[in-house]
Amino acid sequence: MISFYPGPSRVYDTVPTYIKDAYKQGIISVNHRSPEFMQLYHKVKKLLKEKLNVPEDYHVVFTSSATECWEIISQSLISEYCYHFYNGAFGEKWFNYTKKLVPIAMGYKYDMNKMLNLKELDLSSENGVICLTHNETGNGTRISNRRIARIRNSYPNHLIAIDATSSMAGVGLQFENADVWYASVQKCFGLPAGLGVMICSPKAVKRAIDLDENDHYNSLNFLIEQASKNQTSYTPNVLNIYLMGRVLEQVKPIEKIEKKIKKRMKGYRKFFGQFEQLDFLIENNKVRSQTVLTLKADPQLIKKLKEAALKQNILLGNGYGDFKENTFRIANFPALKAKEIDKLKAFFTEYFN
Ligand SMILES: *Cc1c(COP(=O)(O)O)cnc(C)c1O
């Protein structure tokens, strides 16, 4: 089965071998307070920074999911004001989680075919947290690096937190232009679910220290303190951290990966353009995601397409949220192989001919 689901998604081919290695080397049972684990943590952190171009002074913290990061940001980094800008289901979900802990959180929903424009909301507070979803997995949109750089310039005193769950390790991010970046690994990292990574700027760390929130096992202060010793606050998913290290060793630098992803997306755009029955949900190519394709069609056709694909061992991703019935999604994640994409295209060509 080839999974084109945008998460959990296809893992790298090498993952089974790495799992076996982890077992043979005793990594699976290693004590998380041992020197072996600390070395592993240190090594993976270093690799992550190297391969993804993360600034040296940023902190890398492991969590169990992106959802956990939503909560960590609310509890440890938002004192009062925060501003969520979203155009789809995941961004909205994050906003709803924040509201539970920060009832006065503000949310602003923007048009999914338009570029994000913060000027539409008053951000006069000096130190609020701006919350953005870099790649909205629900509808297949993205915010460009340039846009994020402009937001950083316009609001130098705010903290900027970015959900990059379905783009980190797939496209290049300019980490220096925001303070908190996070992802879970079952999307572009090509790893099994159950691990999240949170990348924090010195400014975010300072904010956490100033707010002095220490009530939780995953209070950011505690996580950072432990991480600086290559430790964690609870027994972590050591196997997945190990797998991340092995995968990061194996993959090319992010510039090369991004080039591949963009080229493939260009190919998809041309390819799907030829079928009258299918449309991209997002008409504006400038805000369309590079890593998640969302295609719109008649719900009956989608049902048939998914069934027919399954018979050829191709798993298409369901639509999400409001677009559950009238769209389907295709992951353009790096672990997918060229020949698998060829097979997918051959399936569509045959289906519509
Ligand atoms: C998948 C996804 C999440 C949730 O990830 P979990 O690992 O289930 O917590 C959050 N945000 C975005 C943008 C996602 O794509």
Q: What element of type H or E holds 136?
A: strand 135-136
Instruction: Please state, as a whole number, how many other Cβ atoms lie within 10 Å of the Cβ of residue 51.
Output: 18
* CA max distance for the chain: 63
137 within 8 A of 292, measured Cβ to Cβ: yes
DSSP assignment of 54-72: --TT-EEEEES-HHHHHHH
66 ligand 1 Cβ < 6 A: yes
Pocket of ligand 1, candidates 166, 173, 189: which has the most ligand atoms within 8 Å of its Cβ, to mutate? 166
Structure tokens at 319: 């639509």
Nearest residue by C-alpha to atom 5 in ligand 1: 66
Nearest residue by C-alpha to atom 3 in ligand 1: 66
Pick the closest to residue 155 from 179, 173, 183 (CA basis).
179
Quote the pLDDT of residue 172: 98
User: Would you give the distance in Å from CA 73 to the centre of its chain?
Assistant: 16
For residue 236, say if its preceding peptide bond is cis, omega within 30 degrees of 0.
no
51 within 8 A of 253, measured Cβ to Cβ: yes
Closest ligand 1 atom number to CA of residue 164? 13
pTM of this prediction? 0.97
Phi, psi of 288 (to 5 degrees): -75, 140
Instruction: Please state, as a whole number, how many other Cβ atoms lie within 10 Å of the Cβ of residue 39.
Output: 11
Closest ligand 1 atom number to CA of residue 7? 1
List, for residues 170-223, the tens digit of each pLDDT value. 999 999 999 999 999 999 999 999 999 999 999 999 999 999 999 999 999 999
What pairs with residue 82 in β-bridges? 129
67 ligand 1 Cβ < 6 A: yes
**How much distance in Å is there from the Cα of 228 to the middle of ligand 1?**
26
**CA dist., res. 303 & res. 327, Å (int):** 10
Quote the pLDDT of residue 119: 79
7 ligand 1 Cβ < 6 A: yes
163 ligand 1 Cβ < 6 A: yes
**CA dist., res. 182 & res. 163, Å (int):** 5
Closest ligand 1 atom number to CA of residue 68? 9
List, for residues 254-294, the tens digit of each pLDDT value. 999 999 999 999 999 999 999 999 999 999 999 999 999 99
Q: For a pLDDT cut of 70, what percent of the chain falls above it?
A: 99
Mean pLDDT, contiguous 10-residue spans, the chain (353 residues):
96 98 95 96 98 98 98 96 96 98 95 90 80 98 97 93 98 98 98 98 98 97 97 96 98 98 98 97 97 98 98 97 97 98 98 94
Quote the pLDDT of residue 248: 98
326 ligand 1 Cβ < 6 A: no
